[in-house]
Amino acid sequence: MKPQVLIVGAGPTGLVLAIALIEHRVPFRIIDKNKGPGEASRAMGVHARTLEFYRQLGFANEVVNQGIPLGQVYIHEGTKVKAQMSWVNIGEGLSPYPYMLSFPQDDHERLLVQQLEARGVSIDWNTELASFSDEGDHVRAVLKQGDIVQEEQYLYLCGCDGVRSSVRKGLDLGFPGGTYEQLFYVADVECESQVEGMHMSIYDKGFCSFMPLRTRGLQRLIGIVPMELLDNNTTIGFEEIRPYVEKYVGLRVKTVNWFSTYHVHHRVSDSFRKGRVFIAGDAGHVHSPAGGQGMNTGIGDAVNLSWKLAAVLHGKADESVLDTYEAERIAFARVLVSTTDTAFQNVIGDTLPGKIIRGIIIPYVLPFMFGFSSARKTVFKTVSQTRIQYRDSELSSGKAGNIHGGDRLPWVQTAGSDNFEPLKSLNWQLHVYGQAKQLLRDFAKTSGFSLHEFPWTSTMKDSGLKQDSLYLIRPDGYVGLADTDQDVEKITAYLHKFKLSPLYNKQPHGE
């Protein structure tokens, strides 16, 4: 079948978009100018929301089995540990993946490539997007493979081509924001002794942290190059950093496997879409790696875009549904970039708030707060991206209990399973926690929407759900419409707005 979508870039964003489009039965081509998957370990943190998407796509267990869940976080003052916070099952009861998983990006990308290949699709490596133009009813793309130049046509083009995105530049989109003056370093190292957990030290000359990488014994170091080293105009290698690492986090390094320095930007593109061309991932937003949100946000973009493209290409939604991709994802990217920027400036800055955060809040207040389950839950929800919501989206409507249209469906366990199991269908579905009315059952039968009734439990109330209410769930696991009355007319009006219908009659996973 002729490819309808061109994905430019086979980093995490492009790879997840590709896997999701396969699951949604959309023919596409994926190209990358590199000769193979990335070889730097870059992003380490894989968050719960990403794993929840991977479960929908059918390979969460493979990722979980290869990663290391974060255990203890230690705050250092020099070689001494000043405070300790446990991240073990920090999101218990909130997600089937109640932790942060450490899984290096190069291993992660290789796993995604394997998932693609297992589905019968290969990436066209050594293939570069040279130029493109939106012709109104299609996109014309000029691709270069060595000396060979090809001109092709697609219905849509998705630029998942990283921070220097040629797609973003081709669309003439601004990328406002800035670049931090601080120089970051990253190193993958072997240590003299076995170290467990994540260790960090925030001191007045910067910060330094390390966490386990791949197998125990290997560590990932991230930090800021001390200004005094930069002032001396020294070439920065690990040997210049070593004394600080030993002094501030007490790490004795035996072998350095990889060392690199880099400047960090904080920018969001003016737009994520122009006509038939989209951008996603680092092409649209970049920010400080502290908090480990970048890659996970790109994967969230890919999942959001995939089902909307599929719905339009399968004739199951009006083309205007594609407008909601930018509206939903750019809003989150802007909040993320500004909050990580503010947090970063405050923690590092030589200001009074910075001194209070470093001297009091991080070593004393934060560990004290971690003793309370409500504080742990708030931290988990924020870091894990399970808190992301699209309440202001045109696709969101209604409220039942504490759950609004646009919220992520809260995770609840049911007898022998959970309410996320049906999300594997990657299709619209009706959920009722309690009992469905006969009118709703009839609607489900005639309209083709699958109806899932979950016997009411008190945990459901704790999650914000309301007994006997209806939740119309989108293919990406967010609530589209919430309604306490199970009103079929409201559902019909909601669906009519974007001419929505079930993506498939038979479910992709054979439900």
Ligand X SMILES: Cc1cc2nc3c(=O)[nH]c(=O)nc-3n(C[C@H](O)[C@H](O)[C@H](O)COP(=O)(O)OP(=O)(O)OC[C@H]3O[C@@H](n4cnc5c(N)ncnc54)[C@H](O)[C@@H]3O)c2cc1C
- Choose, by CB under 6 A, the member of 4, 6, 7, 14 that binds ligand X: 14
Residues 145-164 that bind ligand X (CB under 6 A): 160-162
What number of chain residues touch ligand X (CB under 6 A)?
33
At its nearest, how many Å lie between ligand X and the CB of residue 34? Answer: 4
- Choose, by CB under 6 A, the member of 7, 43, 112, 412 that binds ligand X: 43
Cα atoms in the Cβ-side hemisphere of radius 13 Å centred on 113 = 18
Pick 269 or 425: Cβ nearer ligand X: 269
At its nearest, how many Å lie between ligand X and the CB of residue 358? Answer: 21
At its nearest, how many Å lie between ligand X and the CB of residue 189? Answer: 14
Distance CA 73, CA 78 (A): 15
> What number of helices (H) and strands (E) belong to the chain?
15, 27
- Choose, by CB under 6 A, the member of 5, 7, 8, 400 that binds ligand X: 8
Q: Does residue 480 bind ligand X (CB under 6 A)?
A: no
Distance CA 477, CA 465 (A): 15
Strand arrangement, sheet containing 139-145: 128-134, 139-145, 148-154
Pick 334 or 496: Cβ nearer ligand X: 334
Distance CA 250, CA 81 (A): 10
- Choose, by CB under 6 A, the member of 19, 70, 100, 186 that binds ligand X: 186
Residue 77-106 contact track with ligand X, rule CB under 6 A, x = bound: ----------------------------x-
At its nearest, how many Å lie between ligand X and the CB of residue 296? Answer: 5
Round the CA-based radius of gyration of the chain to a whole number and report it. 24
- Choose, by CB under 6 A, the member of 282, 328, 407, 476 that binds ligand X: 282
Distance CA 212, CA 195 (A): 8
User: Which residues does 244 contact at the CB level (< 8 Å), separation at least 6?
Assistant: 205, 208, 223, 226
Residues 241-280 that bind ligand X (CB under 6 A): 262
User: Which residues does 22 contact at the CB level (< 8 Å), separation at least 6?
Assistant: 116, 119, 121
Pick 284 or 398: Cβ nearer ligand X: 284
Read off the tokens for 496: 């009519």
Q: What is the DSSP letter of 425?
A: G
- Choose, by CB under 6 A, the member of 24, 29, 33, 431 that binds ligand X: 33
- Choose, by CB under 6 A, the member of 20, 44, 213, 436 that binds ligand X: 44
Q: Does residue 116 bind ligand X (CB under 6 A)?
A: no
Q: Which stretch binds ligand X (CB under 6 A): 37-45, 146-154, 460-468, 474-482?
A: 37-45
Question: Which residues, in sequence order, are bridge partners of residue 183?
Answer: 263
Read off the tokens for 323: 């407008």
Question: Which residues, in sequence order, are bridge partners of residue 212?
Answer: 219
Read off the tokens for 29: 């081509």
Q: What is the DSSP letter of 236?
A: P
Pick 12 or 480: Cβ nearer ligand X: 12
Pick 294 or 405: Cβ nearer ligand X: 294
In terms of Cα–Cα distance, which of 104, 44, 25, 290 is closest to 184? 290
**What is the pairing mode between strands 403-404 and 397-400?**
antiparallel
Pick 329 or 452: Cβ nearer ligand X: 329
Distance CA 88, CA 70 (A): 7
Distance CA 322, CA 325 (A): 6
> For residue 404, with 0-12 CB atoms within 10 Å meaning exposed, 13-18 middle and 19 or more buried, which class applies?
middle
Q: Which stretch binds ligand X (CB under 6 A): 12-20, 326-334, 443-451, 494-502?
A: 12-20
Q: Which stretch binds ligand X (CB under 6 A): 11-19, 54-62, 362-370, 376-384?
A: 11-19
Residues 380-409 that bind ligand X (CB under 6 A): none
Q: Does residue 214 bind ligand X (CB under 6 A)?
A: no
Residue whose tokens read 């039968």: 445
- Choose, by CB under 6 A, the member of 3, 25, 34, 394 that binds ligand X: 34
Length of the chain: 511
- Choose, by CB under 6 A, the member of 32, 52, 328, 407 that binds ligand X: 32
Q: Does residue 67 bind ligand X (CB under 6 A)?
A: no
Residue 289-308 contact track with ligand X, rule CB under 6 A, x = bound: x--xxxxx-x----------
Question: Which residues, in sequence order, are bridge partners of residue 150?
Answer: 143
Q: Which stretch binds ligand X (CB under 6 A): 36-44, 112-120, 148-156, 270-278?
A: 36-44
Q: Which stretch binds ligand X (CB under 6 A): 236-244, 285-293, 335-343, 432-440?
A: 285-293
Distance CA 255, CA 451 (A): 56
Q: Where are the alpha helices (DSSP H) in 127-222?
A: 166-170
Q: Does residue 188 bind ligand X (CB under 6 A)?
A: no
Q: Does residue 412 bind ligand X (CB under 6 A)?
A: no
Provide the binding-site residues for ligand X, judged by CB under 6 A. Answer: 8-14, 31-34, 42-45, 105, 128-129, 160-162, 166, 186, 262, 281-282, 289, 292-296, 298
